Amino acid sequence: MNIVAISKVTMLGELGINVYPKSHDLFNQFIYREAAGVYWNDKLNCFYFTVSKDWANEWDYKKCYAHLISVVSSGLGIRLRLSSDTVFDPDNLRFKEDIVASDCKIQKWIDENTKTEPN
């Protein structure tokens, strides 16, 4: 699996999220094929996910982030990871703590559920 650092995580509207990988390629645009609501924005060079108003009371930013990370991992084989220089927008401690906590859980889940090839 290809590991790519995340340069920035931003809120998108009332309940959505943008995740900006430090590097990207043309295949990112095919994430829509997973039919999971995660898309690639060519102009911003980021993955994004938004929750419909019908589901808004069941989702928060942590769940949106984890969903996006897991879909990109399973759909494209790209493991997006926070780094020490990842920027969070808005720049508030609560948003950053929520995303970091969600990242710890989703990375652990990916570790537990990713098949590794025998040596």
Q: Walk me through the domains of the chain, giving residue ranges and CATH numbers.
A: 2-113 (2.20.20.40)
pLDDT for res 43:
95
Residue 45 CB partners (closer than 8 Å, separation 6+): 20, 21, 24
pLDDT for res 53:
75
Residues with pLDDT less than 70, the chain: 116-119
In this prediction the pTM is 0.91
Cβ count within 10 A of residue 113? 10
Sign of the torsion formed by the C-alpha atoms of 31, 34, 37 and 38: negative
Residue 40 CB partners (closer than 8 Å, separation 6+): 28, 29, 30, 31, 32, 46, 47, 48
Beta-bridge partner residues of 11: 17
Query: Cβ(81)–Cβ(6) under 8 Å?
Result: yes
